Amino acid sequence: MYTRWRLYILAVFVVLVAALMLGCALWRKRGHSFGAFRELLLILGVVLIVETLIISTLSNFNLGVILPAFFGVQLVFVAFVLPWMGHGFLAFLKWLIVGCYAAAFAIFAVCGFLMVRASGEGAHADADAIIVLGAAVHGDKVTWVLENRLNTAAAYLESHPEAICVVSGGQGAGESVTEGSAMKKYMEEHGIDSSRVYAEEQAKNTKENFVNSKKIIDKALGTNARIAFVTTNFHVYRAGRVAKELGMQVVGIPAEDVWYLRLNNFLRECVGICVYALRGDI
């Protein structure tokens, strides 16, 4: 299924870019001036807008889905009006957009560095218990994002036969069961003994994931158990900082992100890191 969707989405973008390049070439042949830089802005902007339209049909609607289109609309606008942005209000608008993009890229670079560094820290984790942070389920079925987290957790449990697992997540909108119960069912169906999997079904956010799961681990193993957590690679940094603020000594084990959501999840996570930092949560 991954391969099929990869080919579909890739085909859409290839056709789109080819059509835009052909359109720009025909525009030039008609004697109109449309330089290479403006063509680049136009193509990139349209691709980002279409990316949002495609992903909005494949994923839950969230800020990460919207952000590519937000940036894309500005690029398309600049591509068409750039020759007139030398004076007055349009000149101010041009430099305002440039400044906003510069600030955004600086934030993305810093947040990206933090995410990459944190996702590499759990490569050799040795824990008595792991917490799998929940994500949305469709009805009672785990999504690809959550499936990757659970597969990562299952592989860890297979290589650490004495470890236990807490799958954590409550019930959100559009979900017919709790995330915790859907995750436990998935783990059992994939060969993990039910006695090693504990379902935490009340958590509504990352903080509650950790607090509620820690209570289960303390009851099962005592308060000195070594704990690791599993989440998608982009989320390891922020989740780890939340746990640290709670006084928990944990290490994050990264699961692969779904390939077509990487841009959207990266952008959303950058915003999340900034919001958490401004609120003092990390």
Predicted confidence (pLDDT) per residue in 58-101, tens digit: 777 778 889 999 999 999 999 889 988 988 899 999 999 999 99
- For residue 132, the tally of other CB atoms under 10 A from its CB is 32
Among the listed residues 184, 176, 190, 281, the one whose alpha carbon sits nearest the alpha carbon of residue 237: 281
Structure tokens belonging to residue 47: 């691709």
Closest to 226 (Cα-Cα) out of 164, 178, 167: 164
The owner of tokens 């007055």 is: 88
pLDDT value at position 42?
A: 87
The Cα–Cα gap between 124 and 199 comes to: 25
Token pair listed for 131: 């917490």
Continuous H helices in 82-205: 88-119, 144-159, 179-189
Q: Residue 152: CA atoms inside 13 Å, Cβ hemisphere, count?
A: 26
Q: Are 130 and 229 in contact (CB under 8 A)?
A: yes
Query: Tens of pLDDT along 151-172?
Result: 999 999 999 999 999 999 998 8
CATH of 129-279, picked from 3.40.50.620, 3.90.1170.50, 1.10.10.10, 3.20.20.370, is 3.40.50.620
Residues constituting the chain:
282
> In the structure, what pLDDT confidence band is assigned to residue 139 with cuts at 50, 70 and 90?
confident
